[in-house]
Amino acid sequence: MKDANVYDVVWPRGKSTITGAKLAKRLDTLEGKVVAELWDWVFKGDVMCEGFEAELGRRYPGIRFISWKEFGEIHGGKEHEVLADLPGKLKSFGVDAVICGVGCCGSCIAAVTRTSILVEKLGIPTVTLCCDGFQTAGGFNAAGEGYPNLPYAVHPGHVNFFTDEEIYKNAAEVMTDQVVKALTVQPADAKPVKEPGMRDIVFSGNLKEVNDFYYMREWSDGLPVIPPVIEEVEKFLRFTARPAGSVVGVLKPDNREATIWNIAVNGVMSGCRPEYMPVLIAIVEGLCDPDFGQEHLGQTPGTETLIIINGKIIKDLEFNYTQGILRPGFQANTSIGRFLRMYIRNVCGFLPHKADKGCFGDNFRIVLAENEDAIAEAGWQPLSADRGFKTGDNVVTLTSVTERTQLIESGMPTAEGTLENIAKRMADNHLFIQFFFRGQKTRPLIILTPLVVKELAKAGYTKEKIKRYLYENAKLKPADMSGKEIARFQKGIEDGSWPEQLGTSADPNRYVQMVSDPDDLQIAVSGDPARDHTLVCAQNGFIGYPVSKKIELPSDWDAMLRGSANN
């Protein structure tokens, strides 16, 4: 049967904040010039630089290099400090050009690209180093910053499969010509692109035609979307006092405005109900929080963001908070989880095969709502209170989840036996701990079922005591990890970037704590009240630190809910 309805739909993206960007003027020659090396301390950039120094030194008399050792790690826990100092250091060394690398993972290619653009804005020409398969992602990150013509030098293949000798040779014989061209040949300027306005109708058609139109433009996730007609968008806007054009923040890699309007548009598309709007706004506020690090969401491990809900709103909006919490089938949990992934696609600009370099990727996370009845019965406080809010406040928490491991039947006749089981599972899974070895914190999330909580609370265990137990007992031996991870552990010891309590021994056969402080562990309560399972979620360091935002409800919330239910 043909759909006779015609939908006039709007644009789901946001206004770009980038205008008039131009690359720095290229050099006439590299002879006698000062070239700085900037490195993210991974993917053999030090070896590449040795190759460039040798070959460029042979070709261009008087060329001088400033080693990456002078600048610090341009992508890591201290990235912002290093980049803040960079303009002054480049000036003090009298730098004429910069070689910046190496992008061989999703977050690294974005980081080195942004660093090169920072340098270009100083009037210094750059070349950005990457491996095969990452230049496209770099280009989309650069385009979002207004520099789609940013030049790259590409290593033929991923460096992990090459010896140092081969990488040196590839740098000297294959990549050097690309470096020279990038620093001496001026690319054509980028042309501005005209985009729709907030209320502009971008297409009119029936349901199938609208979905085809959005899919072909990569504005949908491949599932059917609800057509975002203005009338539906305005239903969402009634649940906030903020103006439709109000800007919540600017999101990377595309540097687009996150607005109340495009929050509502993507909420409609994702199948949300209008009354979910206050939750959606709080989620985007979390996304815009610098502490969360949303610019890293295109990383290769395919990290997904988990949304955790606390407060009376759980029951107001009928979130599932018991059995099957992370299973699709409940509109609030499912559609709001889908909304975040839709928003990351349409407003941030993370698209697979483009700026999103998740190697395997992952599905959007179904929203986790805490079981606050079980929490109160145990005499505990919810996660939101752990994060500084009052018990009972309506709060959204975002945290990155790179890996999950489930401990089935964690219960034992003693509380200590149960905790020992959980600690062993944490150690078995390593909690993606290799990123901790670069001097960062990680913030694992441990989800306990109400049954586990009941037994632990009965034995006198509070959240604080559980965190202390797991901190002291969830340990691993670096020797049980891969060779690269052992090397990272030992380098962290040598650099002094480990937390103080881990000591100074580089022995990979000793046991080390998995987190730097008991409070690095997050504990939530949800899941099947009849089972003794535990879910441990590995959090990926500074690439997605947890942030929490209060959900601001309209003053007449209860009346509006009743009215929405009747429509």
- d(CA 526, CA 522) in angstroms, rounded, equals 13
Chain-centroid distance of CA 315 in Å reads 29
Q: Are 532 and 409 in contact (CB under 8 A)?
A: yes
Q: Are 102 and 40 in contact (CB under 8 A)?
A: yes
pLDDT higher at 58 or 429: 58
Q: Are 480 and 449 in contact (CB under 8 A)?
A: no
What's the average model confidence in pLDDT over 476-503? 76
Q: How far is CA 280 from each of CA 291, 336, 469, rounded to the nearest angstrom?
A: 19, 7, 36
Q: Which amino acid is at 329?
A: G
Q: Is 8 helix (H, G, I), strand (E, B) or coil?
A: strand
Residue 3: what are its φ and ψ, rounded to 5°? Answer: -80, 115
Q: Are 380 and 400 in contact (CB under 8 A)?
A: no
Q: What is the DSSP letter of 10?
A: E
Answer positive or negative: Cα dihedral of 204, 209, 214, 217: negative
Contacting residues for 96 by C-beta, under 8 A, at least 6 apart: 27, 33, 34, 35, 124
Q: Is the pLDDT of residue 237 over 70?
A: yes
- d(CA 96, CA 178) in angstroms, rounded, equals 17
Look at residue 479 in the predicted model and tell me its pLDDT: 83
Radius of gyration, alpha carbons of the chain: 26
Question: Chain-wide mean pLDDT for the chain?
Answer: 92
- d(CA 341, CA 297) in angstroms, rounded, equals 11
Q: Are 296 and 302 in contact (CB under 8 A)?
A: no
Question: Dihedral through CA 266, CA 272, CA 273, CA 278, nearest 10?
Answer: -70
Q: Are 90 and 122 in contact (CB under 8 A)?
A: yes
- d(CA 558, CA 556) in angstroms, rounded, equals 6
- d(CA 59, CA 451) in angstroms, rounded, equals 71
pLDDT higher at 190 or 325: 325
* Residue 207, phi-psi category: left (phi > 0), alpha (psi -120 to 50), beta (remainder): alpha
- d(CA 230, CA 9) in angstroms, rounded, equals 7
- d(CA 409, CA 162) in angstroms, rounded, equals 44
Listed range (441-445, 487-491, 534-538) with the worst mean pLDDT = 487-491
> What is the widest separation between alpha-carbon atoms in the chain?
80
What's the average model confidence in pLDDT over 553-565? 90
Which CATH number applies to 34-184: 3.40.50.2300, 3.20.20.70, 3.40.190.150, 3.30.70.100?
3.40.50.2300
Question: How far apart, in Å, do the first and last CA atoms of the chain sit?
Answer: 27
Q: Where are the domains of the chain?
A: 34-184, 403-539
Listed range (44-58, 245-259, 280-294, 500-514) with the worst mean pLDDT = 500-514
Q: Is the pLDDT of residue 432 over 70?
A: no
> pLDDT tens across 305-320, in order?
999 999 999 999 999 9
- d(CA 9, CA 209) in angstroms, rounded, equals 11
Q: What is the DSSP letter of 381?
A: -
Q: Is the pLDDT of residue 436 over 70?
A: no
Look at residue 101 in the predicted model and tell me its pLDDT: 94
Tokens of 446: 């441990």
CB-CB neighbours of 20 under 10 Å: 8
465 band by pLDDT with thresholds 50, 70 and 90? very high
- d(CA 307, CA 287) in angstroms, rounded, equals 11
Question: Dihedral through CA 452, CA 419, CA 304, CA 486, nearest 10?
Answer: -170
- d(CA 303, CA 301) in angstroms, rounded, equals 6
Tokens of 297: 């969401």
β-pairing, 445-448 with 534-538? Answer: antiparallel
- d(CA 521, CA 471) in angstroms, rounded, equals 8
Beta strands, E only, 50-163: 64-66, 97-103, 126-131, 152-155
Look at residue 1 in the predicted model and tell me its pLDDT: 39
> pLDDT tens across 403-414, in order?
888 999 898 999
> pLDDT tens across 371-383, in order?
999 999 999 999 9
Q: Which amino acid is at 91?
A: K
- d(CA 273, CA 225) in angstroms, rounded, equals 13
Tokens of 555: 């003053």
Listed range (344-353, 359-368, 473-482) with the worst mean pLDDT = 473-482
Q: Is the pLDDT of residue 398 over 80?
A: yes
Closest CA relative to residue 210, chosen from 269, 271, 270: 269
363 band by pLDDT with thresholds 50, 70 and 90? confident
438 band by pLDDT with thresholds 50, 70 and 90? low
Question: Dihedral through CA 256, CA 260, CA 266, CA 269, nearest 10?
Answer: -150
Look at residue 177 in the predicted model and tell me its pLDDT: 97
Look at residue 434 in the predicted model and tell me its pLDDT: 55
- d(CA 109, CA 101) in angstroms, rounded, equals 8
538 band by pLDDT with thresholds 50, 70 and 90? confident
> pLDDT tens across 327-352, in order?
999 999 999 999 999 999 999 999 99
